[in-house]
Amino acid sequence: MSQRRWSLAALALAPLLALGACDQLGDVWERMTGGAQVEGPGPTPLDDVPLDARALSGSVQPQAEMAALLAPEPVLVAPGQILVGAQVERELAETATEMGLASNFVRSLRAEGTEALEQLPENMIGQVRARAEAEASQEATGAAQDTLRRLGISGEIRVRPGGVVTVDLTQSVSPTAYRRNKQPVDQTAADIPDAIQWNATDRCPRIVSQAQLESDIALATRCAIQRLAQSGDFEYVEPNYIADSGFTRPPRRDQPPATTTPPPTTTPGTTTPTTTTSPPARVGGAPNDPLYALQWNYRPNGTGDGASPGGAGFVSFWEAQQLGSRTVRVAVLDTGLDLSHPDIQGAGNVTSGVDLINNPERGGDGDGVDADANDAGDRCGTTTENSYHGTHVAGTIGAAATNDRVGVAGGAWDVTVIPVRVLGRCGGELADIVSGIRWAAGIAPAVGPGNTQIVNRTQADIINMSLTIQAPCPASMQAAIDAAVARNVVVVVAAGNKANQAALYAPANCNNVIVVGANDARGGLAFYSNFGPQVDILAPGGDVFADSDNDGRPDGVLSTRATTSGCYDPLNSNSTQRCYYSFLQGTSMAAPHVSAGLALLAAQTGLRGRQLEDALFTRALAPHPDNFGEIECARSSNAIPISTGSPTCARPSGRGRLDLTRAAQTLAPVTP
């Protein structure tokens, strides 16, 4: 996942980087192609494509900034926002009785809970579940109102699909309380969605007055959660945590030289850039995308020509004519998708999605939930830029058209990407993420303007979540993940970027997920990657503080992301007004490699769910060498000594790294 407080992607072209950049990229292209002029597969010479199809952003970052990336950050919650779980399972048996179902089935429901529903036809399961959720949610609503009344405050209570009931206390608290509890950042407070720091160990005083509650939103939130939990009327009670994509939104201090023509005032997502593209040729091998030569992450793992020590072997799979299938659907729960991007518009790999951000202030698009998943921006303060994090993640999975002589390649040439917008300005709220999981899995519709239902008729096979919450796995999130997995959905999540134990961060600490850590271009554990027993697999996440192949560019992951910061033309090193490709680093970048790998395996084998997950670990996993991830204890305060008193510490990082070359070796070429 990309980092929050670091200057990395879409930043300025350093003068030193500019010198000789064209020659360096030419050398890379020569190594990739052996000097041949490739007509079909293989990177297209840069001078044969328009500027929009090749300009990029990103430079090697100063080593001095690395430490700031790993600094602890506060846990934030939406003030006055509480999630309570209706006791749906308890209601199932009563619902079945009311519907006249057989008594032996009712007994099974009481004994086994949701698992007993498998005895029913598919259409009947939905009816029983929906009715039980409605009745349980109604009971939870009444119980929540009673508890708040006894506390002496009022709240707006809403029912969301899946038995999630949200409590909003903001109407009963003075507006001055928000200003006093604003998220502490160096930006204009009025330009940032409300947030408060959260400490789970803080307790509500035994005696608290109504005046205290009305003047302190943090106190009101804490007391309401404590009293709701003590009532015993709910499956769970938890704050509405704010998740982080991990992208750093630095002040836009790294701009092209002052002599450069100022960039246009329009933003990505509102314009349609002019490009010349041709229909992709369905031939495998190295694609002809002009910036593919800089995508070390797709190369076979190794040290020879055309290989990379950190590569995940995608090109080996492509060479076997395994390019994916549009029947495989990957939902990307993130910031949305820049639908005007020149490598995405008209690509055919993207289907309609949804914007599930309820709070218009956080959404930044002037409305709430609707069917428009276009990335309207997620900047955090007036002096920072939008991350377009979801567009970068989706581009790696396959939203970017591949082998079209434009920009970059995606991991799965053919796939269906479903954008689900759950992250907005300064992050995303837990309630929206939970709704996103259920919507993506086809479990529950979204409710748009005028109470219209937005139904996902293309259930995802894979869900990618490149986001983190520094908290134990929220019960609402775990319930949604479990429900998705029960529908044969594989859930892929980022491990987090604090060089810390993944067990401290959700959804990496949830059950029924594939947790992805990051390796760098050298093949080692990326310096920022979280680790620990929760991590299942490593994949390319990059390192923008390094340039291990000496090509003048950072070892980040290059993918789709529009910006006007630090753009340059790799053909001649000149600064440009805007560009559509950026280097990023993080476990956010690693997770989509695994999602793309799963999509390729699903297309090749027809497997889904647990069987697909098993195929990943049996066919596309390269075991770690001995002593992998070990580090001097003095360099990692969060690692664990390999033995008592040892100066060497271990950072467990899964069973191995993603390597699709291994899976490709078992394939016979398929006629396209």
CATH number of the domain enclosing 637: 3.40.50.200
pLDDT tens per residue across span 135-153: 999 999 999 999 999 999 9
Closest CA to 88 of 437, 476, 474: 476
The pLDDT value given to residue 277? 41
Of 223, 243, 263, the residue that ends a domain is 243
CA 241/CA 471 separation, integer angstroms: 8
The pLDDT value given to residue 16? 34
Residues 197 and 219 both lie in one domain: yes
pTM of the model: 0.89
From its phi and psi, is residue 531 left (phi > 0), alpha (psi between -120 and 50) or beta? beta
The pLDDT value given to residue 177? 57
* Average pLDDT over every residue of 239-258: 64
The pLDDT value given to residue 252? 40
pLDDT tens per residue across span 281-310: 457 889 999 999 999 999 999 998 899 999
Residues 342 and 377 both lie in one domain: yes
Which among 48-52, 71-75, 531-535, 663-667 has the top mean pLDDT? 531-535
At residue 460 the predicted structure's pLDDT band, cuts being 50, 70 and 90, is very high
* Average pLDDT over every residue of 215-243: 96
The pLDDT value given to residue 77? 97
The pLDDT value given to residue 125? 76
> How many structural domains does the chain have?
2
Write the CA distances from 521 to 189, 353, 447, integer angstroms.
39, 33, 43
* Average pLDDT over every residue of 532-553: 95
At residue 314 the predicted structure's pLDDT band, cuts being 50, 70 and 90, is very high
Question: Is the torsion defined by CA of 374, 586, 596, 580 positive or negative?
Answer: positive
- Predicted confidence (pLDDT) at residue 92 exceeds the cutoff of 50: yes
CB 8 within 8 A of CB 556: yes
The pLDDT > 70 percentage for the chain reads 85
- Predicted confidence (pLDDT) at residue 38 exceeds the cutoff of 80: no
Residues 42 and 167 both lie in one domain: no
Of 243, 278, 300, the residue that ends a domain is 243
Residues 20 and 82 both lie in one domain: no
21 is a domain residue: yes
Closest CA to 487 of 452, 464, 459: 459
10 is a domain residue: no
Closest CA to 297 of 655, 633, 607, 593: 593
Residues 457 and 593 both lie in one domain: yes
* Average pLDDT over every residue of 477-490: 96
355 is a domain residue: yes
CA 578/CA 570 separation, integer angstroms: 13
- Please classify residue 34 by burial: count the beta carbons closer than 10 Å to its beta carbon, then call 0-12 exposed, 13-18 middle and 19+ buried: exposed
More confident residue, 34 or 281: 281
What phi and psi values does residue 71 have, to the nearest 5 degrees? -65, 140
- Predicted confidence (pLDDT) at residue 35 exceeds the cutoff of 80: no
CA 389/CA 334 separation, integer angstroms: 7
Residues 563 and 639 both lie in one domain: yes
Q: Give the long-range contacts of residues 139-147, CB within 8 A, separation 24 or more.
A: 139/86, 139/87, 139/91, 139/233, 140/84, 140/85, 140/86, 140/87, 140/165, 140/233, 140/234, 141/165, 143/231, 143/233, 143/234, 144/84, 144/228, 144/233, 144/234, 147/224, 147/227, 147/228, 147/231, 147/233
* Average pLDDT over every residue of 414-442: 97
Beta bridge partners of residue 464, listed in sequence order: 332, 492
At residue 172 the predicted structure's pLDDT band, cuts being 50, 70 and 90, is confident
The pLDDT value given to residue 20? 42
3 is a domain residue: no
- Predicted confidence (pLDDT) at residue 184 exceeds the cutoff of 90: no
The pLDDT value given to residue 188? 52
- The kind and range of the H/E element at 601 are helix 587-605
152 is a domain residue: yes
- Predicted confidence (pLDDT) at residue 123 exceeds the cutoff of 90: no
Catalytic residues: 334, 389, 588
- Predicted confidence (pLDDT) at residue 463 exceeds the cutoff of 80: yes
The pLDDT value given to residue 28? 53
Give the residue numbers spanning the domain of 172. Answer: 76-243
The pLDDT value given to residue 47? 87
From 73-77, 116-120, 145-149, 359-363, the region with the lowest mean pLDDT: 116-120
From its phi and psi, is residue 419 left (phi > 0), alpha (psi between -120 and 50) or beta? beta
- Predicted confidence (pLDDT) at residue 488 exceeds the cutoff of 80: yes
Residues 537 and 428 both lie in one domain: yes
- Please classify residue 206 by burial: count the beta carbons closer than 10 Å to its beta carbon, then call 0-12 exposed, 13-18 middle and 19+ buried: exposed
Residues 99 and 149 both lie in one domain: yes
Q: Give the three-class secondary structure for 463.
A: strand
- Predicted confidence (pLDDT) at residue 108 exceeds the cutoff of 70: yes
DSSP symbol at 297 = G
From 17-31, 252-266, 473-487, the region with the lowest mean pLDDT: 252-266
Mean of all residue pLDDT scores within the chain: 86
Of 205, 227, 243, the residue that ends a domain is 243
120 is a domain residue: yes
- Predicted confidence (pLDDT) at residue 111 exceeds the cutoff of 50: yes
CA 395/CA 318 separation, integer angstroms: 17
| CA angle, 292 then 494 then 388, to 5° | 55
Q: How many Cα neighbours within 13 Å face the side chain of 663?
A: 30
The pLDDT value given to residue 198? 96
The pLDDT value given to residue 250? 46
Residues 547 and 408 both lie in one domain: yes
From 68-77, 125-134, 242-251, 579-588, the region with the lowest mean pLDDT: 242-251
Which amino acid is present at 645?
G
pLDDT tens per residue across span 607-642: 999 999 999 999 999 999 999 999 999 999 899 999
Residues 583 and 449 both lie in one domain: yes
Instruction: Tell me how far apart the 2 most distant CA atoms of the chain are, in Å.
Output: 80
Strand 354-355 to 237-243 pairing? unpaired
* Average pLDDT over every residue of 86-95: 86
At residue 39 the predicted structure's pLDDT band, cuts being 50, 70 and 90, is very low
Residues 223 and 315 both lie in one domain: no
266 is a domain residue: yes
363 is a domain residue: yes
Residues 230 and 263 both lie in one domain: no
From 42-56, 388-402, 457-471, the region with the lowest mean pLDDT: 42-56
